[in-house]
Amino acid sequence: MFLTDIPAVDYPCPWAESFTDRLSRLGQGSYGVAYFCMRPDNSTFRYRVLNMIEALATTGSAISASWFSSDELCHLDQILDRTDVLVISRSQYCVAFSLLVTRARARGKRLLYDIDDLVFDGRYVQLLLNTLNQTTRDAELDFWFAYVGRNGALMRLCDGVIVTNRYLAAVAGQFCGLPTVIVPNFMNRAQLAHSARILADKRASGFARDGRIHVGYFSGSPTHDNDFAIIAGALFDLMDSDPRIVLRIVGVVDLGSRFSSFRDRIEVFPFQNILNLQRLIGEVEINVVPLQDNEFTNCKSELKVFEASAVGTISIASPTFALRTSIQDKVNGFIAPAHLWRQVLALGINQLESYPEMAMAAANAALGYYVPELQGAGVIRALRGGLVEDHV
């Protein structure tokens, strides 16, 4: 584990701003962009709404942007008065959003639908359930078909779609027939500033370690048991043969009884705010990102790689579309096909002596692309209907 002096910090709620203040901000430019969501949260909302607004603010343009939840659609006319483009982020069809579409069209506003996952096409629900290790009881089927179907219904009412990578763009375009553009996920300024402190601390110490080797799995949700199963055997074998290896888990994953003999070498942390998560990632030598390889997972973004890279932590990842395009194998991380995880994990552990060079290559790649100052122009092009090139 890397020895850092960065303490845990508080992160104020990023959506505490009042409706009045958010509405006022929307009218401060000559071109208004209103983002809509079902409700704010720490995942999709942060990446696809708050970070987009922050990126727009870095461009020096006359664009003003703000966000609103579905509960605030009762104020729709006030919002439309100040808006040129409306972006609906991963939301489900309902009467209120249907009214939003109707009124926006009547007033000549541009409507876009932003989605970061393959959760809009009912043909993939069974695959989604299998991937996320969900049951197929009637209650689960009813929920997921309704959730996915309502997302897709609202998407099709819009003028275009914004997605996170080229693979997802192809699936979305085939589903709805609408123009589809790409704006990747990226980090916000608070996350970047805290990550910079962590990385600087590691560099100042010469990447000093305590002798243990931490492998970190940052699940993010309780639906990744099947993903973790990809590496469970390889990780067990390595922990069994090398007492230096410690498994760090942040979030929820079912280890089963297999790892009970390593109880004293397993660290489990609850969900963290985005700053403290960066600290916990920054302390581990290896960040593992196992994913099953199918249409659903190939639509996922590379955020678990670039967030680790920003704090100088090397990732070993499955070769899904976004992960393999964000990692240059053996230069700024490692790509591990399912049958080679043990071999690649061992390779990563055996190359710890050359860790700083690879860690800085990873950090430079992440900080040279996944930052709001470099993404703002792409967000503007997407809002105005231009092509946004994917990062390869």
Whether the CB-CB separation of 365 and 305 falls below 8 Å is answered with: no
DSSP H/E element including 59: none
Beta carbons of 191 and 303 less than 8 angstroms apart: no
CATH superfamily of 19-186+372-383: Glycogen Phosphorylase B; (3.40.50.2000)
Bridge pairing between strands 180-182 and 334-335:
unpaired
Q: What is the pLDDT of residue 13?
A: 86
Contact 59, 20 (CB under 8 A): no
| Domain boundaries, given as residue ranges, for the chain | 19-186+372-383, 189-367
The first and second tokens of residue 373, run together, are 């100052």
Q: What is the mean pLDDT of residues 60-82?
A: 95
H/E segment holding residue 303: helix 303-310
Give CA–CA dist 34/27, Å, rounded: 10
In this prediction, residue 252 carries a pLDDT of 85
Token look-up 């992960």 returns 323
From 95-109, 166-180, 354-368, 373-387, the region with the lowest mean pLDDT = 373-387
pLDDT class of 387 with cuts at 50, 70, 90:
very low
For residue 223, what pLDDT is reported?
A: 75
Pairwise CA distance, residues 262 & 216, whole Å: 15
Rounded mean pLDDT of 88-116? 97
CA 269 to CA 278: how far, in whole Å? Answer: 13
Looking at the chain, the whole-number percentage of residues with pLDDT higher than 70 is 97
3-class secondary-structure state, position 277: helix
pLDDT at 389 over 70: no
Assign 3-state DSSP to the chain and report helix, strand, coil percentages, each to 5: 50, 15, 35
pLDDT tens digits, residue range 122-181?
A: 999 999 999 998 989 999 999 999 999 999 999 999 999 999 999 999 999 999 999 999
192 is written with which tokens?
Answer: 């970047």
Per-residue model confidence (pLDDT) at position 376:
96
Residue 14: its pLDDT value, please?
86
Q: Are 63 and 114 in contact (CB under 8 A)?
A: no
pLDDT band for 390, please (50, 70, 90 cuts). Answer: very low
Using CB atoms within 10 A of its CB, is residue 38 exposed (0-12), middle (13-18) or buried (19+)?
middle
> b/e for 230-245, b at 16 or more Cβ within 10 A?
bbbebbbebbeeeeeb
> pLDDT band at 386, cuts 50/70/90?
low
CATH number (3.90.230.10, 3.40.50.2300, 3.40.50.2000, 3.40.50.920) of 189-367 reads: 3.40.50.2000
Largest CA distance in the chain: 67
- Which of 307, 306, 327 lies closest to 318 in space, CA to CA? 327
Same fold, 19-186+372-383 and 189-367: yes
Q: Report whether 323 contacts 289 (CB < 8 A).
A: yes
> Mean of the per-residue pLDDT values for the chain?
94
pLDDT digits (tens, 9 = 90+) for 307-352: 999 999 999 999 999 999 999 999 999 999 999 999 999 999 999 9
